[in-house]
Amino acid sequence: MTGQNYTSNINDLRNEYSDRTGSNAPKVPKLTAPPQRHILTRQELYDLVWSVPMLSLAVRFGVSGRGLAKICERALIPVPKLGYWAKVHAGQPIAKVPLPAAVTDAPTRIIIKTSAS
């Protein structure tokens, strides 16, 4: 049973109980979905960061743009500088910064957890 199905089943049961106990009984608030985790390699995250603007990628992962930037910083993944995407859309040739070799203390797998709402 996935987390989403489990959460919706629990909410259905609680609200059904509230309905049966009387109209004045308070409804049980819905449970929030459990946080999701995305596990990527350094190379995968590097490729994503250089193919999509950071803010769009952050929304896809359910984190803030700054949070994603910090994840990249900790994993020693270079990110596009300010104005990179404007230059790309304008058709200007611009080189991307190569991914440096991993050092011993840099993680090889990156776990991105969605932010709690």
Phi-psi category of residue 112: left, alpha or beta, with phi > 0 → left and psi -120 to 50 → alpha: beta
- How far apart are alpha carbons 16 and 98 in whole angstroms? 56
What are the sequence ranges of the domains in the chain? 1-34, 36-117
- How far apart are alpha carbons 107 and 82 in whole angstroms? 26
Helix (H, G, I), strand (E, B) or coil at 111: strand
- How far apart are alpha carbons 115 and 62 in whole angstroms? 6
Per-residue pLDDT band for 25 (boundaries 50, 70, 90) equals very low
Per-residue pLDDT band for 1 (boundaries 50, 70, 90) equals very low
Per-residue pLDDT band for 11 (boundaries 50, 70, 90) equals low
Structure tokens at 64: 């803030």
Structure tokens at 94: 């611009």
Per-residue pLDDT band for 3 (boundaries 50, 70, 90) equals very low
User: Smallest Cα–Cα separation from 80: which of 64, 112, 57?
Assistant: 57
Q: What is the mean pLDDT of the chain?
A: 77
